[in-house]
Chain A
Amino acid sequence: MSELKVAADIKVGDKLLGWAASEDVRSRGASGGLVTAVLAAALETGLVDRVLVLKKVSEFEAYPVFTSDVQEVLESAGSMHSVPVNLARYLKPETCSGKTALPAKPCDARAVVERVKRNVMSSEDTYVIGLNCGGTMHPEKVRKMLETIYRLDPEEIAGEEIVKGKLVFFTKDGKEHAVPIDDLEAEDLGRRDSCRYCQVKIPTNADLACGNWGVPGDLAEKVTFVEVMTEKGVELLRNTVSAGFAEVMQPDGKSISAREKVNKVMLGMSEKRKTEVFAPIENGKERFEYFRKELENCIHCGACKAVCPVCTCGEDSKCTAYFSLADSHKMSLFHMVRFLHLSDSCIGCGQCEDVCPAEIPLTRLYQRFAVPVQKEYRYLPGMSDRTPPFFALKLEDNEDKEGGGCTCR
């Protein structure tokens, strides 16, 4: 085993194995509790003013809190695959005073980047600790699969973890129950729809990218693989190590390639699913009929817009201001504006779908528009600081782009 790395040696691009120094944190958090240690250290040393974490109510319920209390951060430790919230939505001008750190799935990190582009928050003041993510689950579906497939009482669950393609539940009596995720998904349970075709599994757009992929077998569950992505990431990790909250060391080449391999397999599966879900509907009339039918039950509550992390319009927005139910149009103006706005910015986080009371598969609908446009402009929202193509002043600014079928050239 190689030696521990000192804080001053950490630099951008480093791939390291890390774990929390304190036994307590290690036992609370998953995979060595590094993320919890980073958050706690940042708060304790004053690097950030507060952190945004999920406050756990039960295995299926948690709510986001801004806190400056280290104890609360420690209590939030551990993975929560059944609470698919997008924390970025809570970072807004009203709440963004001082420096904030937050743990983030790739979609949270992408939302943060998009929100920075839309000037609702500042990049300098936000520390994003990315978490690898193979997918999250809707709490309602988790309950359902516990009852129908695992044959367990949802109230008896003490924890869960995704290990090697299996969803493992730990019951309060200390037993483990594992079922392969593929089997669950065959029953339309398992991960959320949007997670199954998600294109980003390692948050390379965050400041630190943490996860258990690539951790050698003998250290599994004991350490976290972390990649330092930015200068802010260096700051975070140096701060954690020098404050004595965590220890890091250099992994061997095998770990690094193992992590790449997991990522590649996951992305391959997503890509396959994506081509299945978004098989083009050739006929225009059928396409329109598809959208009309899916949106038939919409009650226009606006919840999809309220949770959308990339929508930064606020209360006064075009989609709501010029829309009236009394118009009884063939398709609501609200949806048409949303379709257009999301075509270059939809990150496919699935929040809209989760909150929809009419159970409309909104993320699928938005992605129908987003997939071809994002492909055309070779633009993946939230992955770089490139100006969104819709905001380009000139067509040429969206490089790799032909005339676009306009008749004037």
Chain B
Amino acid sequence: MEPEKTEISKSWEPRIVMFCCNWCSYAGADGAGIGRFQQPASMRIIRVMCSSRVDPVHVFSAFLEGADAVLITGCHLGDCHYINGNEKTLVKFNFMRSMLKELGLEEERLQLNWISASEGEKFAEVVRMVTEQVRQLGPSVLKPEGVA
């Protein structure tokens, strides 16, 4: 589906920091590449050993350095390599999201999704979906001056 082109989207592409769990979504990214599922080049992937390794400071720093959105991905609930890391991610995620919302950022700018190692297609789908949502929103208010 061709996204609707707005004034912003012609000149501007979102930059999204994506945290991928080593045991699932990072392999999912590989799967998406091998399967040749098309996806925009908006993601900047950072591999972490578990989605729960993503500290609020990482997320805030990403926004402050100019990310338009942050996407955290991890294993499906119950499948965590470290028993319950993703459960803790969920708790933290909810807190970060309500905090960023109160600060004035749109909810879609911080997202969490579970993508397993075999879900290459889902990976590409999520990347497409998040990129499109953020493209509609435009640049983040936290983006420093002079950063694209």
Contact = CB atoms under 8 A, between A and B. Distances in A.
B123 to A, nearest CB: 13
Interface string B70-100: 0000000000000010011011111111110
A344 B91 contact: no
Contact of A333 (B61, B98, B103): B61
Given A288-B105, A331-B142, A337 B84 contact: no
A397 to B, nearest CB: 8
A284 interface: yes
Contacts of B90: 394-395, 404, 406
B105 A284 contact: yes
B111 interface: yes
A392 B84 CA distance: 12
Interface stretch (A8-16, A56-64, A209-217, A322-330): A322-330
A100 B128 CA distance: 60
B95 A394 contact: no
B96 A340 contact: yes
Contacts of A333: 57, 60-61, 64
Interface stretch (A175-183, A198-206, A365-373): A365-373
A392 B141 contact: no
A155 interface: no
Contacts of B23: none
Contact of B104 (A287, A328, A344): A287
Interface string B99-111: 1011111110001
A393 interface: yes
B64 to A, nearest CB: 4
How many chain B residues sit at the interface, stated as a range, is 35 or more
Given A340-B96, A405-B97, A390 B91 contact: yes
A375 to B, nearest CB: 11
Contact of A330 (B98, B106, B111, B141): B141
Nearest to A332: B64
B144 interface: yes
B102 A369 contact: yes
Contacts of B49: none
A330 B60 CA distance: 11
Given A331-B142, A333-B57, A376-B98, A288 B92 contact: no
Query: Which of B65, B97, B98, B142 counts the most chain A CB atoms within 10 A?
Result: B98
Contacts of A318: 55-57
Nearest to A291: B103
B70 to A, nearest CB: 13
Say what secondary structure dominates the interface of chain B: helix
Contact of B87 (A285, A287, A369, A394): A394
Interface string A371-409: 011001000000000000110111100100000111110
A333 B84 CA distance: 28
A337 B103 contact: no
Interface in A273-300: 284-291
B104 A286 contact: yes
Contacts of B57: 318, 322, 333, 337
B26 interface: no
B105 to A, nearest CB: 7
B48 interface: no
B143 interface: yes
B118 interface: no
Interface core residue of B90, B91, B93 (most chain A CB under 10 Å)? B91
A339 interface: yes
B141 A288 contact: yes
A407 B104 contact: no
A372 B94 CA distance: 12
A408 B113 contact: yes
Nearest to A368: B102
25 contacts: A284-B105, A288-B104, A288-B105, A291-B104, A318-B56, A322-B57, A330-B141, A331-B64, A333-B57, A333-B64, A336-B56, A339-B99, A339-B103, A368-B102, A389-B95, A390-B91, A393-B91, A395-B87, A395-B91, A398-B91, A405-B97, A406-B90, A406-B112, A407-B111, A408-B112
Given A285-B141, A337-B56, 10 more contacts: A288-B104, A288-B141, A330-B64, A339-B103, A372-B98, A373-B95, A376-B98, A406-B93, A406-B94, A407-B113
Interface of A: 284-291, 318, 322, 327-331, 333, 336-337, 339-340, 343-344, 368-369, 372-373, 376, 389-390, 392-395, 398, 404-408
The 6 closest A-B pairs by CB, nearest first: A288-B104, A287-B104, A404-B94, A329-B64, A284-B104, A336-B60
